[in-house]
């Protein structure tokens, strides 16, 4: 019987390990990761999570501006602030105005955005870059500058809108000081201002649809409307969901338009939930305003869930 020689191999440290313990590299990577994440975590806790927790506590108290000097004397009143909202006529008016702004403004903005995107994607429009920039420019323009222009256009006697109506024999109203026309005017302004955002998203969705599908549909004899209904719309469902959710969140919180253009008037016809909440903070009703803010948050969550349920069967 021949015995095979036993070869003894010395253990040599892996190159780059420096002779450290096996777990030391993992620990170093963990510490490095936490080192990068720590600044964000600190800022998030200080400026987001912390204020959210404080405002939630404030919403169940009777905290007012005069109580800030003696914060430990604040009384916890449970859900009284939330129950009080539904007996507040001003809050109900603001909720109704916000509902109208969302129900009318969101579909209007989405339809206009989709139509513009379809036109630019058709290849029949020249200078597409110019039009894309032009439609998107209001999105990145200051609301104050936009409001100044719109107020100039909507002047009752010298504004361009009433001048054009006068050419066809129509006596234009005082758009921003008439309770009947003030909110619809802000809806049109909001749709015009946000049209560019939806256009960019829809244009990206349209360009992601394979051209072969349209060629096959054309060969099968499908007309343009049939292609749009049975091909474009189903393929755009994920894009529609994204635009709908983002636009709805923005419109539920609409604040700049009434704040700059009408200050919530006339006769509270343009008072929104966000603007009413802002006013309550200004009046020093911190507990009541915090409860109002959380109601607004719940509304945003419920509407987002509704959009997901409406379109989820076609979004995969």
From the list 184, 161, 179, the residue with the least C-alpha distance to 171 is 161
| Cβ-Cβ contacts under 8 Å for 235 (sequence gap 6 or more) | 205, 209, 213
pLDDT per position as a tens digit, 2-20: 555 554 445 545 544 455 5
Structure confidence at residue 290 as a pLDDT band (50, 70, 90): very high
Evaluate whether residue 1 is within a structural domain.
no
pLDDT per position as a tens digit, 46-56: 888 888 888 88
159 close to 152: Cβ distance less than 8 angstroms: yes
Evaluate whether residue 223 is within a structural domain.
yes
More confident residue, 235 or 71: 235
| Confidence (pLDDT) at 9 | 46
Evaluate whether residue 60 is within a structural domain.
no
Evaluate whether residue 130 is within a structural domain.
yes
| Confidence (pLDDT) at 247 | 93
| Confidence (pLDDT) at 196 | 93
The answer on pLDDT for 296 being more than 50 is: yes
Q: Is 154 exposed, middle or buried (0-12, 13-18, 19+ CB in 10 A)?
A: buried
The answer on pLDDT for 311 being more than 80 is: no
Evaluate whether residue 199 is within a structural domain.
yes
The answer on pLDDT for 32 being more than 90 is: no
pLDDT per position as a tens digit, 191-243: 999 999 999 999 999 999 888 888 888 888 888 888 888 888 889 988 998 99
Mean pLDDT of 164-188: 90
Distance spanning both ends of the chain, measured CA to CA:
69
| Confidence (pLDDT) at 52 | 87
Evaluate whether residue 209 is within a structural domain.
yes
Mean pLDDT of 273-294: 91
Structure confidence at residue 29 as a pLDDT band (50, 70, 90): confident
Q: Percentage of the chain with pLDDT > 90? A: 35
The answer on pLDDT for 286 being more than 60 is: yes
Structure confidence at residue 63 as a pLDDT band (50, 70, 90): confident
- ω before 26 within 30° of 0 (cis)? no
Evaluate whether residue 75 is within a structural domain.
no
More confident residue, 59 or 65: 59
Mapping DSSP onto H, E and C, the string for 163-178 reads: HHHHHCCCCCCCCCCC
The answer on pLDDT for 316 being more than 90 is: no
Domain of 146?
Answer: 83-314
- Please report, for the domain that includes residue 239, its CATH number: 1.10.3720.10
Evaluate whether residue 5 is within a structural domain.
no
pTM for the structure as a whole: 0.82
Structure confidence at residue 70 as a pLDDT band (50, 70, 90): low
| Confidence (pLDDT) at 205 | 92
| Confidence (pLDDT) at 224 | 86
Number of domains forming the structure of the chain: 1
pLDDT, the chain, mean: 85
pLDDT per position as a tens digit, 248-271: 999 998 898 899 899 998 999 999
């Amino acid at each position: 019987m021949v015995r095979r020689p036993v070869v003894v191999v010395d253990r040599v440290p892996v190159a780059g390990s420096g002779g450290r313990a096996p777990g030391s590299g993992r620990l170093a990577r963990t510490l490095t990761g936490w080192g990068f994440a720590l600044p964000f975590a600190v800022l998030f806790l200080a400026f987001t999570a912390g204020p959210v927790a404080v405002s939630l506590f404030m919403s169940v108290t009777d905290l007012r501006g005069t109580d800030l000097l003696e914060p430990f004397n604040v009384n916890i009143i449970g859900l009284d602030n939330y129950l009080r909202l539904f007996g507040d006529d001003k809050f109900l008016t603001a909720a109704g105005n916000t509902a109208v702004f969302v129900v009318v403004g969101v579909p209007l903005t989405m339809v206009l955005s989709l139509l513009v995107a379809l036109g630019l994607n058709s290849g029949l429009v020249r200078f597409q870059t110019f039009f894309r920039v032009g439609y998107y420019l209001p999105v990145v323009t200051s609301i104050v500058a936009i409001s100044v222009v719109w107020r100039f256009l909507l002047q009752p006697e010298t504004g361009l809108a009433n001048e054009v109506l006068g050419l066809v024999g129509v006596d234009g109203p005082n758009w921003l000081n008439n309770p009947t026309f003030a909110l619809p005017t802000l809806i049109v302004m909001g749709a015009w201002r946000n049209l560019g955002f939806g256009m960019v998203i829809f244009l990206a969705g349209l360009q992601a649809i394979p051209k072969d599908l349209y060629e096959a549909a054309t060969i099968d004899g499908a007309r343009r409307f049939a292609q749009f209904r049975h091909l474009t719309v189903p393929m755009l469902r994920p894009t529609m969901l994204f635009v709908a959710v983002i636009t709805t969140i923005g419109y539920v919180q609409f604040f700049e338009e009434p704040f700059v253009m009408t200050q919530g008037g006339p006769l509270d016809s343009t008072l929104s939930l966000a603007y009413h909440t802002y006013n309550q903070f200004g009046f020093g009703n911190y507990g009541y305003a915090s409860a109002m803010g959380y109601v607004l948050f719940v509304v945003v969550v419920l509407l987002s869930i509704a959009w997901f349920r409406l379109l989820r069967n076609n979004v995969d």
